[in-house]
A and B are shown apart, each in its own frame.
Chain A
Amino acid sequence: MSALQQYALLLGMVVGAVGFVLSVYGIARSLGKTRREPGKDVPATSGRLSREPVWARYHVRYYGYALLFLAFDMEMAYMYPWAVVYRELGLKALLDMGVFLAILYLGLLYGWSQGAFRRQR
């Protein structure tokens, strides 16, 4: 199969999955509609009616990790093709990528020393 055909098959699978889910919803719907009662559609918070809305600027505490993650993610994008041709190229490939990884690792160590690796209070 050519690559285009393969991706078409995957797209077909996605559509099929969506179709399956919709048909399951349809079967469930055929058993009856959801009755609208007071209090039923309030998000469940352990016995109290919850406030509306909860959408707020959420304060994540791991943004130090997230910045380093970006750097490493870009690196991993380069490592995929490198891994495929590694054995062909031999020692040179190891040294090239070794230098790249070492530089990134130094960045990781720097981040660690500056306190990126903790929960940012």
Chain B
Amino acid sequence: MISGARQAEPSWFHRLVARAMARRLTVFVVPGPDVARAYGLDIEAAGLQVVDTPRHAGVLLLIGDPPKGLREAAAVANAQMPRPRAIFAVGAGDVSPLPEPDLLVDMNQEDVAAGVEELRRSFAAGAFAPETEDFEAEVVREDEDDEGEMDPGHMHHDSDEEEDESDDGEDEGDQNDQDLDEPEEKEVGEDQLEDFMSMIEMTEGMPASGDGLIMEWVPAAYGPLFPGLPGGLSLVFTLDGDTVAETEVEPGIEGHSPVEILYGPVERIAERAAKLDSLTPVSYGLLIQRAIESTSGTRIGEEEALSRVGALERERAASHLGWAASFGFLIGDRSLSRGAGRLQIALLQAANVGEVGRIKGDVEDFVHKTLRTPLLGSKLGGIGIVDGSGAENAIGPVARAAGFETDARSEDPAYQDLGFAPVVRDGNDALTRFQLRLEEIRQSLNLVLEAGAMAATGSTDSDDSSGTGTATVETPRGMAALRVTLEDGMVTNVQLDAPSMCNVRLVETVTMGKEVADALAGVGSLDLSPWEMSG
């Protein structure tokens, strides 16, 4: 019996339907398809069809160990999936408040594919069961007081109505001090017009839109599990029609603190740093490595430096390809989304530089073809512009697309030896950022091939070193800076400046007053990662 079986006595018809459902499993991915690709998993190739709303899904797919905030969101999504439903966990640990997963496999493609086959069997056998239980979780129960808070327009409406009803007992003459043309209408047939309110009264005190009309604003959650945005990023838009009137971003994911992950003994810190942001594990591993090395003042050899360059650049290319896949899905370009996803997984699975060389041709074709997509200019041109001071304070590809030549790699001697020059464009909109990242993919692959090696090694010996060290690394999203204090081989103090924390301040400029599709494209073009943000 699967965890979300439907209650019925299985007859031949039920079994037929269950077998059909097992053949066509639809899956809702938590935290998102981008995280699955970053781990090197190709879900479509494993036989599952990814859908974008839990209502169309039969299987809830949990990738990695989701932190508390995401587990609660997944519980809500699970409650909204129609039965029969199953939970498929890949490399996950504790998944409360969700029920026990129906299947738990390790994080690699073969196990996932084998798991899908087993899931099909359990679905066909257990989709319908005579006895089932409700899925109860606290997060799924609604709070009654939430409804009043988010509702300024309606609350005002109610208070006006109360005022009018209390006025009915008084003299007609001094009833209305609100509106001058009201009293005549109130006198005639007062009984029918007890609840009458003119538009002016009804919309009094409500904010006006850009064209002067006063309409009702609705809060819409583009929450942690929205398919077009990075998985885990929580936005709440207050929509005025289809335009964004207000924006709220939640910095980071509840229950995931990138800084706290790093505390502890120095021994296994590289592994812990990789868990900091599963989308860019190599960058953060390298960052902490360099910071520890700078505490003890060790210098690394040239070969090792080149190898690190290769690893970092490979990850950059893969990250940009993953971003292009998510972004393509957001803007509705299917071939971009699929092509980029496939190339990202192939690149992540490349075992050595030779294989990367073989992929390079495909990537070049892909970049060339994508840059010439028809109507891309009209879709992205002028979207997501960050004006004035915002652009100066931006970081990473967002800044480089605004004409600022800020790149931490320019100061790195290993890169200088390879003749590195950052890609800079002047355009400051989503189209420019798109083109810039595609260019960076090309540049990164060339750097990998020139470096000749891509293994990020270097051990942190567990000596009882103490001291403070700083390091910077140009992650795919921008420069990350780390300052770490060691005491007797334990990390005691960590200060992390992650690029997404800097770029998240641009979300408001990019979304306010824009149509919701343009706002989402703008946010997508910033390439934020909620995993490296700390609340």
Interface residues of A (CB under 8 A from B): 30-32, 34-35, 37-40, 42, 44-52, 54, 56-61, 119-121
Contact = CB atoms under 8 A, between A and B. Distances in A.
Contacts of A32: 6-8, 128
Contacts of A45: 220-221, 223
Contacts of A38: 79, 134-136, 140-142
B241 A59 contact: yes
Given A46-B221, A51-B151, A59 B140 contact: no
A48 B141 contact: no
A58 B215 contact: yes
B74 A54 contact: no
Interface residues of B, number: 56
A45 to B, nearest CB: 5
Given A31-B13, A39-B141, A46 B223 contact: yes
B217 interface: yes
B223 A48 contact: yes
B243 interface: yes
B6 A35 contact: yes
A1 to B, nearest CB: 41
Contacts of A44: 53-55, 77, 80
Given A32-B8, A45-B220, A46-B225, A59 B215 contact: yes
A52 to B, nearest CB: 6
A39 B8 CA distance: 21
Nearest to B55: A44
Interface in B235-273: 240-243
B240 A48 contact: no
A39 B220 CA distance: 17
23 contacts: A31-B6, A32-B8, A34-B82, A35-B6, A35-B132, A38-B141, A39-B76, A39-B140, A39-B141, A39-B142, A40-B82, A44-B53, A44-B80, A46-B73, A46-B224, A49-B76, A51-B146, A51-B147, A56-B217, A59-B240, A59-B241, A61-B515, A121-B209
Contacts of A54: 218
A58 B147 contact: no
A51 B210 contact: no
A35 B83 contact: yes
Residue with the greatest number of chain A CB neighbours at <10 A, chosen from B73, B136, B218, B515: B218
Given A42-B142, A47-B74, A121-B243, 6 more contacts: A38-B79, A44-B80, A47-B76, A48-B224, A59-B215, A59-B242
Nearest to A36: B134
B219 interface: yes
Residue with the greatest number of chain A CB neighbours at <10 A, chosen from B79, B128, B213, B515: B79
A58 B515 CA distance: 13
A59 B215 CA distance: 6
B216 interface: yes
B223 A57 contact: no
A57 B211 contact: no
Nearest to B226: A46
B13 A39 contact: no
Interface in B172-229: 209-211, 213, 215-227
B243 A59 contact: yes
A48 B83 contact: no
A38 B97 CA distance: 14
A119 B376 CA distance: 20
Interface of B: 6-8, 13-14, 17, 53-55, 70, 73-74, 76-77, 79-80, 82-83, 128, 132, 134-137, 140-142, 146-147, 150-151, 153, 209-211, 213, 215-227, 234, 240-243, 513, 515
Contacts of A46: 73, 221-227
A48 B217 contact: no
A47 B135 contact: no
Contact of B213 (A39, A47, A59): A59
A50 B226 CA distance: 14
A41 to B, nearest CB: 8
Contacts of A121: 209-211, 243, 513
Contacts of A120: 211
A56 B134 CA distance: 33
Nearest to B241: A59
B388 to A, nearest CB: 20
Contact of B216 (A35, A37, A56): A56
Contact of B142 (A35, A49, A59, A60): A49
A121 B240 CA distance: 10
A121 B210 CA distance: 5
Contact of B221 (A34, A40, A50): A50
Nearest to B215: A59
A18 to B, nearest CB: 24
A15 to B, nearest CB: 27
Q: Which 3 A-B pairs have the closest CB atoms?
A: A59-B241, A47-B73, A56-B216
A48 B76 contact: yes
A57 to B, nearest CB: 5
Nearest to B13: A31
A103 B238 CA distance: 42
B219 A51 contact: yes
A48 B140 contact: no
Given A35-B6, A59-B240, A121-B211, A47 B147 contact: no
Contacts of B55: 44
Nearest to A47: B73
A35 B7 contact: yes
B248 to A, nearest CB: 12
Given A32-B6, A44-B55, A37 B151 contact: no
A28 to B, nearest CB: 9
Contacts of B141: 38-39
A8 B471 CA distance: 80
Contacts of B82: 34, 40
Contacts of A34: 82
